[in-house]
Structure formats: structure tokens, C-alpha cells
Structure 1
Amino acid sequence: MTVANEIADSTVLTLTDSAARRIKRVLAKEPEGAMLRVSVEGGGCSGFQYLFDVTRSRNDDDLVIEKDGAVVLVDSISLPYMEGSVLDFVDDLIGQSFKISNPHASASCGCGTSFSI
């Protein structure tokens, strides 16, 4: 499988097949209409951190990304920090987690949820 086949296109955030499958599984355990919100806020050990929240509310200015039943929201404040990023779900010997590959990040911490620009 090529990367082009496993990523849902978006100018801000793309989802791999693995991320979409995991998001869909997570949301299946939530009330109907649940979506995953991915956002950026100040903090963390590198200056900014990613937040992952399950929500049922959508703002008018949210970017909505849908792939294979998975729905991800990105708020308008986080959009510039995440442009061109890829959201993946990784299951390896260390554990399972969502990983964001962000082309704007100049450094990130070991946890993978904190970054600097």
C-alpha cells in the first residue's frame, strides 16, 4: 500500500487508514454524533501541545475531516499550527498512540504530544 492510498487528503491535516480505523473504534463507544477534536494549545515541555478530545459539538469555523466513518475537527486557531500535518495511529512495542507528523515543528519531546515551531 502506498502512502497516497492510505491518507485522506486535507490541506491542514491528513488521516492515515490506521488513524481513521482507531478513531472510528473510539467514537463507536461514544454517544451518537461524537467526533474527535484535535487542537493545539500553549504548554507542554516544548512550547505547544496537541490535545485530543471527544466532542459532540461542532463550531461554525471548524475544519471537518471525514474518512471511513471517522470524523475529526480542527478549530480555526489550531489550523495554522497544523497545516500539512499527518495524523497516524501507531501500535508498536512501546505502546499504542496517535502520532502527528507536523512539517512546522522544529523540535518535539519524547511523548510526541509536545512540539515547538
Structure 2
Amino acid sequence: MTATLSSDVALTEQAARRIAAILANEAPGAVFRVAVEGGGCSGFQYKFVVDPAPAADDALLEQDGARVAIDPASLGFLTGAKVDFVDDLMGQSFRIENPNAVSSCGCGTSFAL
């Protein structure tokens, strides 16, 4: 059963708009997956992919047309985090403000606990 996220993870308005735009080009039922994997220069790294559907045990966040799926293992690392989308001189990217991370690298996709 897919759980619905409440205050576990938040999306900014910019992130929700960008995710909704990405999913508009996908098949109905598709989700934007946010995951945490081992690796990167700080020990853990964020991964963003589009999946055709959420897994049975995913937590699901729905906001303004955005559907975000997070697996149970990743959710433990992301509790209290905020997903943002930035478009600046350095380019466009999703960024995560994670209160659980004690440090992160300059690229913004890798962090340590």
C-alpha cells in the first residue's frame, strides 16, 4: 500500500511545477522518484528518476500535479527535507535542503550524515 507523505518531505512551488511539467510528458500514473543511494563524494547521493508507477511500499507526495515517490529506505534519510528546483546562472537542477545532512559537497547532490 502506498503511504501519503504529510510533513515528512516538502516540495517548493518551483519543484512542484517542474515535476508536473516533466510528468506531463510521461504515461499516466508515472511518478518522479527521489532516492538516496550510497556513493558520491560525501558518502550518500540523491537520485532523481521518472518511474512508470510507484512501488507498493513507496511513500507518495502529491502537490499541484506533481507526484513524488520515495522508497522506505530513502525516506529515513529525507525526513524533514525540502525538495527545490533552481534555475540560475549555474544551470537548472533539483536541490534538497536536508536537515539530516551534517555536510554536503559543492555539487549539492552528495551529502554525509
**TM-score for both structures, normalised by structure 2:** 0.92
| Counterpart pick for 1:55 among 29, 51, 54 | 51
Q: Shift of the alpha carbon at 1:72?
A: 0.1
| Counterpart pick for 2:96 among 67, 90, 100 | 100
2-side partners of 1:70 and 1:81: how far apart? 21
Name 2:64's counterpart in structure 1: 68
Write out aligned runs for 1:83-94 (5 A): 83-94=79-90
1:43 maps onto 2:24 in alignment: no
What SS class does the counterpart of residue 45 from structure 1 fall into? coil
Q: Shift of the alpha carbon at 1:34?
A: 1.2
Worse-superposed segment, 82-91 or 23-32: 23-32
1:5-38 alpha-carbon deviations (Å, 9 max, x no partner): xxxx833210010000000111111122211010
2:60 counterpart letter in structure 1 = V
Q: Which runs of 5+ in 1 are unaligned?
A: 1-8
* Identity rate, percent: 56
2-side partners of 1:10 and 1:105: how far apart? 21
1:25 maps onto 2:44 in alignment: no
RMSD: 1.1
1:17-61 alpha-carbon deviations (Å, 9 max, x no partner): 000000011111112221101010100110000110100132222
2:12 counterpart letter in structure 1 = T
